[in-house]
Amino acid sequence: MLHVAVATRTFRRYATYRAATLSGIFTNSVFGIIYSYAYLALWDANPSAGGYDSQDAVTYVWLGQALLMTIALWGGGTTDDLAERIRSGDVAIDLYRPVGLVGWYLASDLGRAAYHLLTRGFGPTLIGLVVFDISLPGSVLDAGAFAVSLVLAVIVSFAIRFLVASTAFWLLDQSGVKVMSGAFAIFISGMMLPLVLFPGWLGTLANALPWASYVQVPADIWLGKRQGTDLLAALGFQVMWAVVLIAACHGVLRLATRKVVVQGG
């Protein structure tokens, strides 16, 4: 109940930033178009690169643009609020409340993600659909699995962003870590180039790391590349990282409150 209330309030809060939303959709679409032509050129040269055909590749581009803000790939989202509250010392107030901080911020981030999905997710997807004729999930099962995968992607990304924000307990400021983590995520999540194109050990590694949950796994499910037990394995992979990372958030928070100081008088 509380967490639903938290999520809806964050949703509403983000909904007040209309101008930012519109310009964001515009930006995503411009990037979507540029990437689409780049990928089309790439797949023209190698029509089955990574096991994708050119329609898969273009669909992947637009899914990436739709997911970018929904999972807050660059970092940010409600975990920026947390980092700011740690820096100012206001986190003291969050800490003495009878609810866990991780659950609270996760609920809040899901509210944010829902808003970004409806706007910055659907917006570019619609444009991709009209202009580039991207493919849709092949079955109801795939569509449902994609929805689940999307929620898991948000949770995994939230946990990583939460860990990044928690560095503020020690460093007072998360921004250095956040920039590095964002840049790394862009690359290793398959946002720039699908992980299916990563060669050899780099591909194996990237597909085993939590960032694969961000774009590659949901996109593969949308494209119907994961079926049957393989679909279960894909979702299981995300669940595993979600559980591990959320546990890490709890651990870090416990460590932070025991060792570290709450700032300010």
Partner 1 sequence: MTADHTSGPLIDVRDLERTFDVRRRVEGRRRRTREQVVAVHDLTFSVDGGEMVGYIGPNGAGKSTTIKMLTGILVPTGGEVRVRGLDPSRQRVELARRIGVVFGQRSTLWWDLPLRDSFDLLQKMYRISPARYRENLDRFVDLLDLGAQLDTPVRQLSLGQRMRGDITAALLHDPEVIYLDEPTIGLDVVSKGRLREFLRALNRERGTTLLLTTHDLQDIEALCDRVIVIDHGTSVYDGTLAGLHAQGGSTRTLVVDLVDEAPPIDVPGAEVRKVEGPRQWLSFPSDASAAPIVAAVAASYAVADLSIQEPDIEDVIRDLYSRGA
Ligand X SMILES: Nc1ncnc2c1ncn2[C@@H]1O[C@H](COP(=O)(O)OP(=O)(O)OP(=O)(O)O)[C@@H](O)[C@H]1O
* Smaller CB separation from ligand X, 232 or 261: 261
Q: Minimum distance from CB of 42 to partner 1 (Å)?
A: 44
* Smaller CB separation from ligand X, 207 or 263: 263
234-263: which residues touch ligand X (CB under 6 A)? 261, 263
> Is 67 within 8 Å of 121 (Cβ atoms)?
yes
Q: Evaluate the CA torsion angle 80, 157, 68, 46 in order and state its sign.
A: positive
Q: Minimum distance from CB of 86 to ligand X (Å)?
A: 12
Q: How far apart are CA 103 and CA 28, in angstroms?
A: 30
- Site for partner 1 contains 19 (CB under 8 A): no
Angle formed by the axes of helices 2-15 and 101-116, nearest 10°: 40
Instruction: List the one residue out of 189, 211, 14, 29 whose CA is nearest residue 116.
Output: 14
Q: Evaluate the CA torsion angle 133, 57, 188, 249 in order and state its sign.
A: positive
> Is 253 within 8 Å of 99 (Cβ atoms)?
no
Q: Kindly state the number of chain residues that form the binding site for ligand X, as judged by CB under 6 A.
A: 3
Q: Minimum distance from CB of 265 to ligand X (Å)?
A: 4
Instruction: List the one residue out of 51, 62, 73 whose CA is nearest residue 196.
Output: 51
* Smaller CB separation from ligand X, 131 or 262: 262
- Picked from Mg ion, ligand X, partner 1, none, the partner binding residue 97 (CB below 5 to 8 A depending on kind) is partner 1
Q: Minimum distance from CB of 114 to partner 1 (Å)?
A: 17
* Smaller CB separation from ligand X, 243 or 261: 261
Those residues with Cβ within 8 angstroms of residue 75's Cβ, 6 or more apart along the chain or in another chain: 161, 164, 178, 179, 181, 182, 185
Q: Minimum distance from CB of 96 to Mg ion (Å)?
A: 16
Q: Kindly state the number of chain residues that form the binding site for Mg ion, as judged by CB under 5 A.
A: 1
> Among residues 199, 228, 264, 265, which is the contact residue for Mg ion, using CB under 5 A?
265
Q: How far apart are CA 137 and CA 118, in angstroms?
A: 18
Q: How far apart are CA 223 and CA 88, in angstroms?
A: 45
User: Per-residue DSSP letters for 56-80?
Assistant: HHHHHHHHHHHHHHHTTTTS-THHH
- Picked from ligand X, Mg ion, partner 1, none, the partner binding residue 229 (CB below 5 to 8 A depending on kind) is none
Q: Minimum distance from CB of 227 to partner 1 (Å)?
A: 42
143-162: which residues touch ligand X (CB under 6 A)? none
Binding mask 172-211 for partner 1 (x = CB under 8 A): ----------------------------------------
Instruction: List the one residue out of 54, 57, 52 whose CA is nearest residue 44.
Output: 54
Which residues contact Mg ion (rule: CB under 5 A)?
Answer: 265
Q: Which residues bind partner 1 (CB under 8 A)?
A: 1-2, 5-6, 9, 13, 16, 88-90, 92-93, 95-100, 257-258, 261-262, 264-265
- Which residues are at the interface with ligand X (CB under 6 A)? 261, 263, 265
